[in-house]
Amino acid sequence: MAQNKQEIKEILRRQDKLEEAFEALKKIVDSEYDEDRIKPSALKKWDKISRDMDNGKGTFFNSPEEARKWLRHF
């Protein structure tokens, strides 16, 4: 039982870190947002990622490098 509580705490901690990272990324994108500079293919990817997250689907990363690799091959 204690292990389950620890696992839940770890999942919640990771979720908080992920949400902070996405907020930071959102701020960067918002500050640099210029439709002429963002490729339509990138916008489609971001829309799909956002839709998946809204539906409770997602991918977890242990490092920013893993996230970059995933985005490159998404």
Cα–Cα distance for residue pair 63/51, rounded to 1 Å: 22
Residues 6+ apart with CB under 8 A from 21: 64, 67
- Report d(CA 70, CA 48) in Å as an integer: 14
Q: If phi over 0 gives left and psi between -120 and 50 gives alpha, with beta otherwise, what is residue 6?
A: alpha
Indicate the average pLDDT of the chain: 82
Q: Which tens digit of pLDDT belongs to each residue from 54-69?
A: 887 877 778 888 888 8
pLDDT at 34: 65
